[in-house]
């Protein structure tokens, strides 16, 4: 059963049905935690096609495609993607992620969104699974298509999966962004949430109040793109404020930047109070220091921008000690790559991301995400943040830990996918691990062991409004996926 073709931006792209479903998904608001509509869309899809489906208490849903004739005896393969997306937008965008559809556009050989994240992570994987499920011409054994929820905020759906819904022991995850690469492992992760108590005082009538801004950064995925060395807006702001503080005293009364734990902050804003005699010096010191930062990051973040403008007077400001503590904390909290893998060339082993800072009432909250392919190193970087919190007399909560997905170089699925890639592309595939977190390790543990791989098309700019998907790569990815199933079921 196929819906009537609507006027889509991707109408002429191939494979037609994959792109059709991707654009349909783009019409459905589906930020993490906002899953009801997209799950209902998948349920309706299953009912219209008389497909058996199961749903658990976390709203994970499994659709089952019966085996083709004479293949009922073949082993079950599980295809898996997550339905949620990271919702980030540029400052000038008025997009409301709770109700507005993602506006797609084609630029050369790439599909992008208008000033927001695209949702190709992991919408392309979801669309591919729907296209497989409805294609009656495919000759396969039994397929289980697992759509998980709330992956982007800590693999929540995978952790809460009811394993009784899954019978298959071969898992093909469709959530990576490098065409022709087979991933057989990923880093583990953990989050830290630090809260610093602040004291306030009344501002004086002799003060100037200014808003200092840093923006225009690429940001990106804190796992897949941390190695690119782009600027972190919060770390840059901390450096600039520390530089100002070496010359004269000031007080903060607002500090904010970043939003998502798994995204590198692209913007930061600090509101400061200084004596009017230091107003111009403050403005000049900030802008001059930002010029140095702009030069430092010119090759990786050419869009770096900064500004210093007047702003309204606050009712209360942070006192000098609280301001100093917060600026020092921004300077000390680590960010970026901490070590590289000793066994896989070019792979980040351990990293940490200062993801966001916000404040409410008498508390400033800092949120960090840590990743490592080594359990011991993951504990170490968590302990580093614990020691920092203790030094600053801050509270810290550490949660959402998930173990690394340990690579299996003898994976049968990896060999099948490698054969498929050679046939489709004529090239030798790369078999490796990824520093980003994937659900495979959690799902393997939940389901009592599975042979697992992850593949995908070419995606860039993940977790930022620069997110894009390479159009020719999607058709190749589709061919690789179908050929991998052919090989698994003895048809390749």
Residue 423 in tokens: 């046939």
Cα separation of 274 and 276, whole Å? Answer: 6
CA distance 13 to 458: 15
**What DSSP element (H or E) covers 339?**
strand 336-340
Q: Find the DSSP H helices in 251-398.
A: 279-296, 320-332, 375-391
Per DSSP bridges, beta strands 268-275 and 251-257 are antiparallel
Residue where the block lists tokens 């959530």: 175
Q: Residue 184: how many CB atoms within 10 A of its CB?
A: 23
DSSP letter for each residue of 115-162: SB---HHHHHHHHHHHHHHH-TT---S-EEEEEE--GGGTSHHHHT--
Q: Is the dihedral of CA 380, 383, 385, 390 positive or negative?
A: negative
C-alpha 169/C-alpha 412 separation (Å) is 11
Residue 402 and residue 382 in contact, taking contact as beta carbons nearer than 8 Å: no
| Angstrom distance (rounded) from CA 243 to CA 287 | 11
In angstroms, the CA 128 to CA 126 distance is: 5
* Structural contact between residues 92 and 266, judged by C-beta atoms closer than 8 angstroms: no
Q: Tell me the H-state helices in 297-356.
A: 320-332
Q: At what angle do helices 120-134 and 36-48 cross, to 10 degrees?
A: 10
Catalytic one among 151, 152, 439, 467?
Answer: 151
**Residue of 23, 24, 84, 466 marked catalytic:** 84
Which single residue is written with the structure tokens 């108590």?
197
- What six digits make up the tokens of 422? 């050679």
For the chain, how many residues are written?
Answer: 492
Give the whole-angstrom CA distance, residue 408 versus residue 171: 13
Q: To 5 degrees, how large is the angle CA 187–CA 192–CA 196?
A: 160
| Helix (H), strand (E) at residue 395 | strand 395-402
How many Cβ atoms from other residues are within 10 Å of residue 33's Cβ? 12
Beta bridge partners of 337: 351
CB 208 within 8 A of CB 477: no
Q: Is 121 a catalytic residue?
A: no
**What is d(CA 285, CA 283) in angstroms, rounded to the nearest whole number?**
6
Catalytic residues: 84, 151
């Amino acid at each position: 059963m196929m819906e009537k073709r609507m006027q889509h931006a991707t109408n002429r792209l191939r494979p037609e049905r994959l792109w059709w479903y991707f654009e349909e998904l783009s019409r459905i608001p589906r930020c993490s935690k906002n899953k009801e509509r997209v799950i209902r869309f998948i349920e309706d899809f299953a009912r219209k096609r008389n497909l058996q489906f199961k749903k658990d208490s976390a709203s994970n849903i499994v659709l089952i495609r019966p085996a083709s004739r004479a293949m009922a005896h073949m082993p079950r393969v599980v295809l898996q993607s997550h339905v949620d997306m990271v919702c980030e937008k540029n400052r000038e965008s008025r997009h409301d992620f709770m109700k507005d559809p993602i506006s797609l556009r084609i630029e050369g050989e790439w599909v992008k969104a208008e000033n927001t994240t695209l949702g190709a992570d992991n919408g392309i994987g979801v669309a591919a699974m729907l296209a497989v499920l409805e294609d009656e011409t495919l000759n396969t054994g039994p397929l289980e298509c697992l759509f998980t929820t709330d992956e982007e905020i800590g693999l929540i759906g995978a952790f809460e999966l009811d394993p009784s819904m899954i019978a298959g022991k071969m898992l093909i995850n469709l959530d990576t962004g490098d065409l022709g690469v087979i991933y057989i492992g990923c880093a583990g992760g953990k989050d830290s949430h630090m809260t610093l108590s602040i004291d306030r005082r009344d501002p004086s009538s002799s003060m100037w109040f200014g808003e200092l801004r840093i923006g225009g950064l690429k940001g990106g995925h804190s796992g897949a793109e941390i190695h690119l060395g782009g600027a972190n807006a919060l770390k840059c702001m901390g450096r600039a404020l520390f530089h100002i503080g070496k010359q004269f005293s000031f007080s903060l009364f607002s500090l904010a930047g970043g939003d998502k734990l798994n995204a590198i902050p692209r913007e930061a804003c600090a509101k400061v109070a200084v004596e009017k005699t230091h107003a111009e010096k403050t403005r000049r010191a900030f802008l001059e220091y930002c010029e140095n930062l702009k030069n430092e990051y010119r090759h990786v973040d050419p869009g770096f921008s900064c500004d210093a403008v007047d702003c309204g007077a606050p009712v209360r400001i942070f006192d000098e000690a609280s301001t100093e503590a917060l600026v020092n904390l921004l300077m000390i909290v680590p960010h970026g790559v901490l070590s590289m893998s000793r066994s896989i060339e070019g792979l980040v082993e351990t990293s940490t991301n200062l993801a966001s800072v916000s404040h409410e009432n008498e508390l400033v909250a800092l949120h960090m995400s840590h990743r490592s392919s080594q359990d011991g190193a993951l504990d170490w970087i968590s302990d580093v943040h614990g020691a920092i919190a203790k030094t600053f007399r801050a509270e810290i909560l550490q949660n959402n830990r998930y173990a690394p997905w340990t690579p299996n170089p003898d994976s049968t699925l990896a060999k099948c996918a490698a054969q498929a890639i050679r046939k489709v592309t004529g090239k030798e595939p790369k078999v490796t691990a990824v520093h980003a977190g994937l659900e495979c390790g959690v799902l393997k543990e939940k389901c009592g062991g599975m042979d697992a791989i992850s593949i995908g098309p070419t995606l860039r700019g993940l977790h930022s409004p620069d997110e894009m998907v390479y159009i020719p790569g999607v058709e190749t990815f589709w061919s690789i996926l179908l050929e991998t199933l052919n090989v698994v079921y003895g048809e390749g």
